[in-house]
Amino acid sequence: MSIRERLSGNEATAYAMKQINPDVVAAFPITPSTEIPQYFSTYVANGEVDTEFVAVEGEHSAMAACIGAEAAGARAMTATSANGLEYMWEMIQIASSSRLPIVMALVDRAISGPLNIHSDHSDAMAVRDSGWIMLFSENNQEAYDNMLMAHRIGENKDVMLPVMCCQDGFITSHAIENIMLEETEDVKKFVGTYKPEHYLLNKNEPIAIGPMDLQPYLTEHKKQQAVAMENAKKVILDVANDFEKMTGRKYGFFEEYKMDDAEYVIVCMNSTAGTVKETVDILREKGIKAGLLKIRVFRPFPGKEIAEALSNAKAVAILDKVPLLSATGGPLFEDIVSNMFVNNINIPTINYTYGVGGRDVTVKQIESVYSDLQNLQDMSNPYRYLGLKEGK
């Protein structure tokens, strides 16, 4: 039976970690994810978990410790944000290429410089093709639920990849919401125990691992990673189906909000979806057929499925909460339009940069996007800004 509670997104994430009771948690504090290891270390100190908590001297070491633990056959978790993730960069790649299903809570924040501690997706987007599965969370409930599903996904024998569970810094990480928690025994049964087939400290299978992988084999090993990422698509849906049976809460690659007859569609991720839903409701009352496609699974990217979901729209706007520094579109935009092209779907599609450095996005601004979609004639500049100050 589910338990009603009031928790912040960070508390909900730490509570999920407590219920999972991993073998090792290694972390270093960085705003706005600091509370996650802080709460979890309290559980360790109080004897509520038997996890080995490693208080490292920096994020590079945090990921290195998780890699060592997973390679030895243990279940490992961590949490970080922004520059902390950047400091992990070398080890992020090693974790995925070594096929170690570490689970990380990533509380999204702008990357320096200049210094900004508020939420955008520049940290997650910087590592989007590093071989990690990436789940995004609209609210505190989804942050909790994604953490409960993450190990089941990453540890599947056909996947064996690390998983990032992303939520927006401060907007969800520090905001308190009503959520439903599951009984700890039900969580433990759902997540299961970690039993890797091969690991370094398996006394029955002594093996040595070397760090070199040169011309004869690297391409094939990277292909194996790619196949595992593709395999993850089916596993994600299978795990979500089992999760729905336990909780009644349904998840897929994305959420379609009033998309059945939608003509004008916004695509976005994380907490912005709540504001877009409110705007859709307002416009629907005015007879405007607005809809929302909220992306939950960003890696593996469900490109064909997204393209099909958008195929009946008249116009689409894709919102990227990250600075556009490539002279073209944002990462979510480019992933979607390339898949629309490959799947022979030709719909006018525009891109908006918004919310950089935690700038608020309002219903009025989202209404302006839907207004642009209804009057979309000039496609000479598909790359636009939302909420940009005049003259800037």
CB contact at 8 A, 8 and 171:
no
Q: Which residue ranges make up each domain of the chain?
A: 3-247, 254-385
Burial degree of 144 (CB within 10 A; 0-12, 13-18, 19+): buried
Q: How far apart are alpha carbons 244 and 251 in whole angstroms?
A: 8
pLDDT of residue 391: 56
Whole-structure pTM value: 0.97
* Tokens found for residue 25: 């948690």
Whether 3-247 and 254-385 share one fold: the answer is yes
pLDDT of residue 166: 98
Give the DSSP H or E segment for 6.
strand 3-8
Q: Which fold has domain 254-385?
A: Rossmann fold (3.40.50)
Helix axes 140-154, 9-20, angle to 10 degrees: 30
> In angstroms, what CA-CA distances link 379 with 305, 387, 388?
25, 20, 19
pLDDT of residue 1: 74
User: Is 3-247 a domain of CATH 3.40.50.150?
Assistant: no
Concatenate the DSSP letters of all residues of 27-61 into one string.
Answer: E---TTTTHHHHHHHHHHHTTS---EEEE-SSHHH
Give the DSSP H or E segment for 221.
helix 218-247
Maximum CA extent, the chain: 68
CB contact at 8 A, 264 and 318:
no
Q: How far apart are alpha carbons 298 and 321 in whole angstroms?
A: 14
CB contact at 8 A, 79 and 90:
no
> In angstroms, what CA-CA distances link 333 with 107, 111, 208, 319, 382?
22, 20, 43, 7, 10
Kindly report the backbone phi and psi dihedral angles of residue 256, in degrees, each rounded to the nearest multiple of 5, phi listed first. Answer: -100, 115
Mean residue pLDDT of the chain comes to 97
Q: What single DSSP character describes residue 258?
A: S
Helix/strand/coil for 291: strand
Q: How far apart are alpha carbons 130 and 124 in whole angstroms?
A: 10
Spans of the chain, pLDDT less than 70 = 391-392
